C-alpha cells in the first residue's frame, strides 16, 4: 500500500509534530506505506507512481493567496482522481480539492470559526469506507477563516 501525503505547510516544533508525522500516526500504518510530497517547497508531483490514496494536509496558508504550485497540483489531483485514487483533504487540503474541481474558496461571511463544530454528514457517508463509523454526525475541532 502506498499513500501520498501532500505536506502543505509546517507546524512549529514548540506546538506539535509536523503535519506528515501527525497524519502517519493517525492513519496507523508503518512509515514505509507513505510517500511524503512537500508541495510548497518544490517536491516533484510524480505521475509515474502507484497510489492507493492521497491525503492533503492542512496549512496556515489561505487559498486566496497566490501559489505557483496550485494549478500543477490541481492537474495532478485530477489525473489521479481519473484513476479512481481516493483523495482526502483536511482543512487547507479540502480547499485545494474544491479549487481543483472549480469550487470557490472565500472568506467566511460569518468571520473566523473556532472551537467545536457539529458536522452533519450526508446519507452517502453511510457507505464510505473512511467516514461511515462517524455517520450521521461528528463534533470536530475547527479553526479557519475561509470556507468552500
Task: Enter the C-alpha cell of residue 93.
Answer: 487540503
Confidence of residue 15 (pLDDT cuts 50, 70, 90): low
pLDDT of 79 > 90? The answer is yes
pLDDT at residue 104 above 70? yes
Which domains are present in the chain?
Answer: 3-105 (3.40.50.880), 108-148 (no CATH)
Placement of cell 486566496 in the chain: 64
Q: Which residue pairs from 143-146 have beta carbons closer than 8 angstroms and sit at least 24 positions apart in sequence?
A: 143/112, 143/113, 143/114, 144/91, 144/108, 144/112, 144/113, 145/62, 145/107, 145/108, 145/111, 145/112, 145/113, 146/62, 146/63, 146/64, 146/95, 146/105, 146/106, 146/107, 146/108
**pLDDT recorded at residue 14:** 64
Q: What does the longest C-alpha to C-alpha distance in the chain come to?
A: 43
Strands 87-89 and 53-56 turn out to be parallel
From the list 130, 52, 117, the residue with the least C-alpha distance to 91 is 117
Dihedral sign, Cα of residue 20, residue 26, residue 32, residue 35: negative
pLDDT in tens, 28-67: 888 999 999 999 999 999 999 999 999 999 898 888 888 9
Q: Band of the pLDDT at 18, cuts 50, 70, 90?
A: confident
* Predicted local distance difference test score (pLDDT) of residue 37: 97
Write down the pLDDT at residue 66: 87
Mean of the per-residue pLDDT values of the chain = 92
Which pLDDT belongs to residue 47?
Answer: 98
Task: Tell whether the model's pLDDT for residue 130 goes beyond 90.
Answer: no
**Across the strands, what pairs with 51?**
none
CA distance 115 to 143: 7
Amino acid at each position: 500500500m502506498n499513500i501520498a501525503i501532500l505536506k502543505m505547510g509546517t507546524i512549529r516544533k514548540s506546538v506539535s509534530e509536523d503535519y506528515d508525522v501527525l497524519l502517519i500516526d493517525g492513519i496507523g500504518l508503518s512509515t514505509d506505506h507513505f510517500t511524503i510530497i512537500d508541495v510548497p517547497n518544490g517536491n516533484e508531483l510524480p505521475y509515474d507512481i502507484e497510489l492507493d490514496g492521497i491525503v492533503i494536509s492542512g496549512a496556515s496558508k489561505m487559498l486566496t493567496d497566490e501559489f505557483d504550485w496550485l494549478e500543477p497540483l490541481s492537474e495532478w489531483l485530477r489525473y489521479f482522481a481519473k484513476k479512481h485514487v481516493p483523495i482526502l483533504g483536511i482543512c487547507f487540503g479540502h480547499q485545494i480539492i474544491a479549487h481543483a474541481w472549480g469550487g470557490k474558496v472565500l472568506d467566511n461571511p460569518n468571520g473566523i470559526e473556532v472551537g467545536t463544530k457539529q458536522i452533519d454528514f450526508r446519507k452517502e457517508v453511510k457507505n464510505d469506507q473512511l467516514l461511515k463509523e462517524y455517520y450521521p454526525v461528528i463534533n470536530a475541532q475547527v479553526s479557519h477563516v475561509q470556507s468552500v
